[in-house]
Structure 1
């Protein structure tokens, strides 16, 4: 039996890649899309960022109102790859309609995550939220956590396309969270360090520095630089195409079908 999927943000770069992935997977069936416009149209009537051979999915309906979509379309999985505020409301509604969710939207606040977690538990519905669905990026974060125990002087440089609205990225924040599990707080650099231009040294989290770069031509990139006595360790990951995230999305779909709670971070469903 196919897993029936609704996707939010079909015209976006990530949304188009998700549609491409779902339509190619024999175990998945695309049954609906949520878009901020194009209500009442079908998938064949809108322009996708990525070319997709729609075949039997040409007549998949599009809804502007997520509640209407969840009420009218029978689905097992909801995939949201939009923006934080929209993604939060969409996911909240999906859980309330007993639809399991896979969410790649970064930028949720801790309060929003707590609310979604409580909602998932009360509705006995699984939900996986991942700041990054690239398997290599998840490994990069785990390796950084391991290294931080031995190299407490750390700077993070994350680079994304110029249309990304949140900074630092969800991946960088998740990396910081993991690092703090194994690193003792430490103020790095010279105690009398002065910024001639405010913000030059980046953000400060427990003494670590984090820098966000936004430029056209980039997709998603991060390096974590560890300084030690006479040595430097750099752990780096690059996503050159949004297709790199789809293996993680597929993994999350398969996993969330067996879950009845919210899971934050793809590392929690990987085997190490």
Structure 2
């Protein structure tokens, strides 16, 4: 899109991880948006000052857990708002980000476990349902190229379910397993078992199964193409310039929180 067709109100957006599966899709989505200008597309381990030199107002990061905190720190130091889709941001990392932001109170960082609107709703519905059932487990399925397991989405969903169960006064989920091969019951997150599947042909899928005596409830979301994440990414980019500090997830932007 040429500069002549853009208004003076366009957001100058940079992307880190621009050559990756998600990063390249973000570049296309930003470039196609009338209110955004893709000013920098940087690989995961390339020269970050290209982002500030290009005058980026917002940076979207889809890279690797090993480097994402360095990227966030760089952007905060440069006064650039950051939207983070990279996994690996837990409670400890979030606290560190808040510490950095205290020195730059005008800057915003948004960390989003999953940008698909359906995935956000799945986590919301699972939390609402959790207090009505004796037990819950999560099965998350992703493509074979995904480096982390469980996914950040599944971890966030499990934490939300665990918190909802605790608030409702529910105890541990029933499980009589005493003989277990390593990994047979998946990973335990806040008392919730999370099972990870990695297969070629998949993109991103999550299934929350809740059960009580005589009934089960399954809440499932499927992302069939990476384009499904782009409306959420663009929503976050537009919102972050007016949201200083740390924002976790998209729920507040969708009026769900």
3-state secondary structure, aligned to 1:98? coil
Asked if 1:194 corresponds to 2:179, the answer is yes
Residue 36 of structure 1: how far off its partner (Å): 4.5
Residue 3 of structure 2 aligns with which residue? none
Stretches of 4+ aligned residues off by more than 6 angstroms: none
Aligned pairs for 1:15-164 within 5 A: 15-36=23-44, 64-66=46-48, 68-124=49-105, 125-164=107-146
Residue 13 of structure 1: how far off its partner (Å): 1.0
3-state secondary structure, aligned to 1:120? helix
Residue 230 of structure 1 aligns with which residue? 214
Normalising by structure 2, report the TM-score. 0.90
**8 A Cα contact 1:187 1:206, kept in partner:** no
Normalising by structure 1, report the TM-score. 0.85
Deviations 1:151-204 (A, max 9, x none): 1301100011111111111001110121122103314222x5322x22211122
Q: CA RMSD in A?
A: 1.4
**Cα distance in 1 for residues equivalent to 2:87 and 2:250:** 13
Q: 5+ residue gaps in structure 1?
A: 38-63
**8 A Cα contact 2:162 2:192, kept in partner:** no
Distance 1:36 1:223, change over 3 A: closer
Residue 18 of structure 2 aligns with which residue? 10
What is the total number of aligned residue pairs between the two structures?
Answer: 243
Residue 76 of structure 1: how far off its partner (Å): 0.7
RCO higher in structure (CA 8 A, sep ≥6) = 2
Q: 5+ residue gaps in structure 2?
A: 1-8
Distance 1:127 1:36, change over 3 A: closer
Residue 3 of structure 1: how far off its partner (Å): 0.2
**Cα distance in 2 for residues equivalent to 1:151 and 1:36:** 43
Residue 50 of structure 1 aligns with which residue? none
Residue 6 of structure 2 aligns with which residue? none
